[in-house]
Structure 1
Amino acid sequence: MKSAVEIIPIGTYFYFRKDSLYYLFQLLEVSSNQILVQTFWSTTNVPSMDKLHQFDVKSACSEFEEEFDELIVIGKEPVTENQRLEITQFLKIKASKIARESGFLTLKKEAVEAFENGAYQEAVRLFSLAAPYSKYDIELYEKRGLCYLKLGLYIDAIADFDYYLIHDPNNELVRAAAESAKKEFSKYK
């Protein structure tokens, strides 16, 4: 069964109320896997077509994933050429994000496999390629630091372990690995 949003015509303005706020949208596009809308900032004012100019756009195009009890239709206007351009831009960004996440996950998987197989030089290369995709996936820095440690690249190992410990200062294994790298590096001073 289709949702209420999927059966209203393209260009329709609709809103729902949650708590004491009204959430206004304009339906831009419906496909089998997504609903695209123009989103307006929530407000305490009841939306109507004659008051549209009072509502500020929050997002020119976004996916509609809201939960609501009752949807109220207030009117319809054709989707403009500018809105169609926003839809195209949104879809390009979404596709790039999906491709980026897929590329990151592939690189990370290959890097972890190389690490587990003892191919530390290759693992460093792959972790380094994956790192710019997600600076908050600290496992990359832990494992690359361990690779550097195994390869005797202590300064690089220390840098990765220090970065990791900024985000997870209580990881005793990484802390011990960092101390080991520092101890080994001090031998060469």
Structure 2
Amino acid sequence: MKSAIEILPVGSYFYFRHDSLYYLFQLLEFSPNQILVQRFWSTTNVPSIDKLRHFDVKSACSEFDEPFDEIICIGKHEITADQHKEIAQFLKIKAGKIARESGFLTLKREAIDAFEKQEYQEAIRFFSLAAPYSKYDIDIYEKRGICYLKMGQYIDALADFDYYLIHNPENEIVLAAVQSAQKEISKKSNS
């Protein structure tokens, strides 16, 4: 249904209604890959071009991905120099996110390959490089903890397992690995 936007010229203000709210946007840029808009906060007031100053901007530039049945165009204003700067900034941030995500996925893939080949030192290196990109991808901490355990680095293994268990306290494999690491640490301290 987004094809309805294709006929709007850049700079057009349009809205759609969902339930009892109106969602207002200004079309900033249109390409086959993305639709960039300035978003306004949803409102119960019917948008019109002469009331634009009454609508608060929610985001200067974002991707349009809203579901809608019908859009209503209410007018057009030329895109300002400031809006062009916002578009450039948005695209720069988006490119950075894509690059980071791509780098993270590459590092994680390399780490898992090394892990599966039982090249634990190499897996630790790749998991450690990937970890700062996504602190919520807890599989990294589980697998790196297992690598540390296999390498006899029990304190490091426990640190990763502790972090993992904060997010998934029921994992029996990790709980057993914690017991194994604690047992090895206990052996070393008793010798």
Normalised-by-shorter TM-score class? over 0.9
* Structure 2 CA distance for aligned equivalents of residues 100 and 71 of structure 1: 35
* Structure 1 CA distance for aligned equivalents of residues 64 and 147 of structure 2: 44
* Structure 1 CA distance for aligned equivalents of residues 84 and 2 of structure 2: 24
Match of 2:66, as an amino acid? E
Task: Give 1:2 deviation, angstroms.
Answer: 7.1
TM-score normalized by structure 2? 0.97
4+ residue runs over 6 A deviation = none
1:1-189 map, 5 Å: 3-189=3-189
* Structure 1 CA distance for aligned equivalents of residues 81 and 186 of structure 2: 65
* Structure 1 CA distance for aligned equivalents of residues 4 and 168 of structure 2: 45
Task: Give 1:70 deviation, angstroms.
Answer: 1.1
Task: Give 1:6 deviation, angstroms.
Answer: 1.3
* Structure 1 CA distance for aligned equivalents of residues 65 and 56 of structure 2: 20
* Structure 1 CA distance for aligned equivalents of residues 138 and 70 of structure 2: 43
Equivalent residues of 1:6, 1:35 under 8 A apart: no
Task: Give 1:136 deviation, angstroms.
Answer: 0.6
TM-score normalized by structure 1? 0.98
Match of 1:83, as an amino acid? Q
* Structure 1 CA distance for aligned equivalents of residues 136 and 179 of structure 2: 22
% identical equivalent positions? 75
User: Where does structure 2 lack aligned partners over 5 or more consecutive residues?
Assistant: none
* Structure 1 CA distance for aligned equivalents of residues 47 and 163 of structure 2: 49
* Structure 2 CA distance for aligned equivalents of residues 186 and 171 of structure 1: 23
* Structure 1 CA distance for aligned equivalents of residues 78 and 115 of structure 2: 55
State the aligned residue count. Answer: 189
User: Where does structure 1 lack aligned partners over 5 or more consecutive residues?
Assistant: none
* Structure 2 CA distance for aligned equivalents of residues 33 and 113 of structure 1: 33
